[in-house]
Chains A and B, each alone.
Chain A
Amino acid sequence: MADALSLNGASGGNSSRARFQAEAGERGIRALLSGAAGTSVLCVAGILGFLAWFSLPLLQPGQLAAVLSWTWQPTSGRFGILPMAVGSLLLASSAMLLAFPLGLGLALFVNGLGPRVLAKHLGALVRLMSGVPTVVYGLASMFLLVPLVRASFTGTSGFSWLAAMLVLALLVLPTVTLVLDGQLRLVAPELRLTTAALGLSEAQSLVRLALPQCGQGLKAAAALGFGRAIGDTLIALMLSGNAAQVPHSPLDSLRALTAHIALVLATDSQSQAYGSLFACGLVLFGVSLAVNLGLRALRRGPRRAALSAHSDRPLPGLETAATGLAWASALLVPAALAALLGFLLLRGLPTVSLALFFGDTLPLDALLHGAPVFDGLWPACLGTLWLVGLAALFAVPVGLAGGIHLAEFATGRAARLAAFCVDLLAGVPSILMGLFGFALILLLRRTFWPSANTCLLLSALCLALLVLPYLVSATRAALAGLPQELRLTCAALGLSRWQAVRRVLLPAARQGILGGVVLALGRATEDTAVILLTGVVAGAGRPGALTDKFEALPFTIYYLAAEHQTPQELNLAFGAALTLLALTLALFALARRLSDGAWRPGT
């Protein structure tokens, strides 16, 4: 310490060298950190680059028109993607039309319009809903909702816009609710005592004063929900029928851009059909970009300070309407969830046994001697564990480092660019990550690595890219949530920036960071779209080498749901769904426990 404080540095070559080394070390670490943050920029550039490169053939005269047309019939040489673009838009918008009011109703219910006891439990339920894997919703809906739609309406096979829209709404509901709830929580309690003293009821306070204050939150919830809805692959793939047409009614079949990519990837890579896939990718990327820019504009926009002159027309009945909406949501959403999950339990619980995991092989043989397991979930469980473990290995250090950099060291335009790219990456549909991975392999094969192949390693890398934004954001938020005084204290004590981060700030923020890590793990566990395109198969057995194909639980569920040859195989799907659900819910609950423990001074 005394050496560091010496002003002229003349107290010996040793100390100045030590100081130089310390400074160099600090600079080196900072360079590493900023490099980590830079990976997000690289990724975005990479994805955009690939999409653009592979769409280049479209720029030839006439090709663009061919792709931007209304008929998709490759056998007659028609590669129009417009029906799919419309399909995605219709599906996402209609899902939001349903999810937004319901989400608003739930947020209102939880923040005062409902009885406190129920509100607490409903809040917990909504948070838990975020942990339900998409493929599990898809499975339960395929065998519960689709037959229901088919039976309730004439002229529909059940696989339709309607079925996909209903489940998609349920999927994005938690996003909408949690954003709104977060905002209301900030605004409503402050106002409550004031308005109560004036004789306003809780409903009036919430609806007339708190909610209008949340204008930005409402828009943000809409944008985030829409982004999530349009980026979803599994629900559209499993439930919407996939007819490449513009639907005339909600009972018709439609195809979304994301499902289109998943379905059509299997064509000649030089063909127009293939090029059109990347055009789809560009459209999707463009939508994510637009949503992201919209959200940024919201954040920067002026805060709504005052209400406009509402009291001229008090709109009687607004409170009744809001209360009605709140109760309707509080009844409908848990009911829908209970129906789907109850159905899942009904079909899945009877299958839970050792045979579910090990088939005909003896468990000990499989566990200890590596005996191959057929018709059991064990290889898929192992595959998922390996996949998520590898993805974490890649993503956690980079994500944490990037988050630390953005929270503590970053300044200037480079930092803003990196932060923007992280947000953009967070909104990129997962199927695009898979497309990127697949295209990467093709590129590698044609250039310096002819034997490159889709495999466990590739999937893990792409999954790592998928969850990177979660890690960066969680780390950033956790560090940003620490009081500024802490940093000032460290500086006043003579600690260098990195020392402060490493010894004081990171330990203080560890719970939030850990929560983010676990959340990222959960996301990696449930993903299906990325691995679909980068190496997962249905019958690979235990994962061998990193360059092998592999099995994974989410894909097994999807595969068995769509293509089971026997009723036993379908039961396997339900058992797998229960297993995956248990896994992700456990991870999710753990994440909640960890991030709830806020740092307090003196702990």
Chain B
Amino acid sequence: MTAIVIRDLTVTFGGRPVLCGLNLDVAQGGPTVLLGRSGSGKTTLLRAINRLNECLPGYETSGSVRVRLGGEMVDAYGADTRPETLRTRVGMVFQTPNPLPAGIAENITLPLALAHGLPKAEIAARVEASFREAGLWDEVKDRLEAPAASLSGGQQQRLCLARALAARPEVLLLDEPTASLDYQAAQGIEELLLELASRYTLLVVSHGLNQARRLARDVFVLREGSALEAVDRELLSDPEGFSHLMDELF
């Protein structure tokens, strides 16, 4: 079943086109990996799905984006879809860890209280659950009040993941989630993502073919914002096809 359907998506910033007439079908689960050169518009594509582009100036868009939420295909840009509601159901993890300037537990509880309006009991339950899911519980359970900034890079990224998971989204958008992490931390996150793919739909922008090879079930290559090409996963394992793709892309 498809989780995300994008048709004819065009995005311009200040008149400058970034994405032109894109079409994409993302299947449930995954992880689906998005590859492309820097500047090809991968982040913009991701942000088009949870309408985060609207927070940036000079933005214009046309086309349609539909996401399967609660069993139904919801038009992300529909008149009766509030961006805030959409974003509570489509989670996002950024390239650089971005904890809120608050305590560790507060990073989870604040959005749940403010954006979801959940009752205190429910929030408390989700805190431990999301930390466990992100594999962070043992490391933070004794210092939930400490500032989030006191965590290491890898821990912070897991915190951001936990925060996204706490919202119980159906779709997770991850923008180069291991780009700013060291090898060990990156490995840990990748293992986590593979495990989460069984429960959530994951769309991951990746910076390296190697990561794509390790993570992906489906691979798409974005060329200069206008062409999205599905790449056969087997091609990634084949050394010749792999180096051909490498030359092409990088």
CB nearest neighbor in B for A306? B147
Contacting residues, chain B, for A306 (C-beta < 8 A): 101-103, 106, 147-149
User: Are A209 and B100 in contact, CB atoms less than 8 angstroms apart?
Assistant: yes
Residue of A nearest to B51 (CB): A196
The answer to whether B101 touches A209, judged by C-beta atoms less than 8 angstroms apart, is yes
The answer to whether A199 and B88 touch (CB under 8 A), given A208-B110, A312-B120, is yes
Chain A 262-276 near chain B by CB (<8 Å), digits 1 or 0: 000000000000000
B87 pairs with A311, CB closer than 8 A: no
Q: Which of B94, B102, B114 contacts A204 (CB 8 A)?
A: B114
The chain B residue with its CB closest to the CB of A210 is B101
Contact in complex: B110, A311 (CB < 8 Å): yes
Q: What sequence of 0s and 1s flags, for each residue 197-208 of chain A, a beta carbon within 8 Å of any chain B beta carbon?
A: 111110010001
Chain A residues whose C-beta falls within 8 Å of the C-beta of B86 in the assembled complex: 199
Q: Which of A64-72, A92-100, A187-195 contacts B (4 or more CB under 8 A)?
A: A187-195
> Residue-by-residue, is A289-315 near B (CB-CB < 8 Å gives 1, otherwise 0)?
000000000000000011101111010
From A194, A197, A309, contact of B50 by CB (8 A): A197
Q: Known contacts being A193-B94, A194-B94, is A199 close to B100, with CB within 8 Å?
A: no
- A213 part of interface (Cβ distance < 8 Å): yes
Chain B 71-111 near chain A by CB (<8 Å), digits 1 or 0: 00000000000011111100110100010111100100111
A310: which B residues are within 8 A, CB to CB?
102, 106, 110
Does B235 lie at the interface of the complex (its beta carbon under 8 Å from any beta carbon of A)?
Answer: no
Do the beta carbons of A305 and B113 come within 8 Å of each other?
no
Roughly how many angstroms separate A195 CA and B114 CA in the complex, as a whole number?
11
8 Å CB contact of A307 from B52, B94, B101: B101
Bound: A306/B145 CA distance, A: 9
Asked if A314 meets B148 with Cβ closer than 8 Å, knowing A201-B84, A307-B106, the reply is no
Contact B111 A309 (CB under 8 A): no
Q: How far is the CB of A323 from chain B (nearest CB, A)?
A: 15
Residue contact A309 to B145, C-beta cutoff 8 Å: yes
Tell me how far the C-beta of B174 lies from the nearest C-beta in chain A, rounded to whole angstroms. 11
In the complex the two chains form, is A200's CB within 8 Å of B111's CB? yes
* B94 proximity list for chain A (CB < 8 A): 193-194, 197
Chain A residues closer than 8 Å to B111, beta-carbon distance = 195, 198-200
Closest to B123 in A: A311
User: Of residues A191, A193, A197, A309, which shows the largest number of chain B Cβ atoms within 10 Å of its Cβ?
Assistant: A197
Within the complex, the shortest CB–CB distance from B158 to chain A, in Å, comes to 16
Inter-subunit contact A200/B145 (CB<8 Å): no
Contact partners of B163 in chain A: CB under 8 A: 198
Task: State the CA gap A555–B103 with chains docked (Å).
Answer: 57
B231 at the interface (CB under 8 A from A): no
Partner of B147 from A116, A191, A192, A305 at Cβ < 8 Å? A305
Q: Does B116 contact A (CB under 8 A)?
A: yes
Chain A contact residues, majority secondary structure: helix
Assess whether B109 is in contact with A311, with CB atoms less than 8 Å apart: yes
Are B106 and A193 closer than 8 Å at their CB atoms?
no
Query: Which residue of chain B has the shortest Cβ distance to A192 in the bound complex?
Result: B55
Contact between B52 and A196 (Cβ–Cβ < 8 Å)? Answer: yes
Set A193, A209, A311: member contacting B113, Cβ < 8 A: A311
CB neighbours (8 Å) of A204 from chain B are 114-115
Within 8 A of B (CB), among A298-348: 305-307, 309-312, 314
Distance in Å: Cβ of B210 to nearest Cβ of chain A = 27
Q: Which residues of A contact B203 (CB under 8 A)?
A: none
Q: How far is B88's CA from A303's CA once the two chains are assembled, in angstroms? A: 31
**With the chains together, A213 CA to B101 CA distance in Å?**
8
B100 A194 Cβ-Cβ under 8 A: yes
User: Within 8 Å CB of A305, what residues of B?
Assistant: 101, 147, 149
Shortest Cβ gap from B23 to chain A (Å): 24
Provide the bound-state CA to CA distance between A107 and B98, in Å: 25
B236 at interface (Cβ–Cβ under 8 A)? no
Question: Are the CB atoms of A196 and B113 closer together than 8 Å?
Answer: no
In Å, the complex CA distance between A196 and B85 comes to: 11
Are A200 and B55 in contact, with the CB atoms below 8 A?
A: no
CB–CB A199/B87 < 8 A: yes
Asked whether A198 lies within 8 Å of B167 as measured between CB atoms, the reply is yes
B50 CB to closest chain A CB, in angstroms? 7
Whose C-beta in chain A lies nearest to the C-beta of B84?
Answer: A199
Q: In the complex where A208-B114, A311-B106, A311-B113 touch, is A197 in contact with B101 (Cβ < 8 A)?
A: no
Question: What separation, in Å, do the CA atoms of A312 and B105 have in the docked complex?
Answer: 12
A308 vs B57: C-alpha distance when bound (angstroms)? 32
Cβ-defined contact, A196 with B87, below 8 A? yes
Scan residues 194-235 of chain A and give those whose CB is less than 8 A from a CB of chain B: 194-201, 204, 208-209, 213
A-B pairs, top 9 by smallest CB distance, nearest first, are A199-B115, A199-B88, A306-B147, A199-B87, A197-B92, A198-B111, A311-B109, A194-B98, A307-B102
Other than the given A194-B98, A314-B113, 5 more pairs (CB < 8 A) read: A196-B55, A200-B84, A209-B101, A310-B102, A310-B106
Q: Which residues of B contact A (CB under 8 A)?
A: 50, 52, 55, 57, 83-88, 91-92, 94, 98, 100-103, 106, 109-111, 113-116, 120, 123, 145, 147-149, 163, 167
Could you list 15 examples of A-B contacts with CB < 8 Å? A191-B101, A193-B94, A196-B55, A197-B50, A197-B91, A198-B87, A198-B88, A198-B167, A204-B115, A305-B101, A306-B102, A307-B106, A309-B106, A310-B106, A314-B114
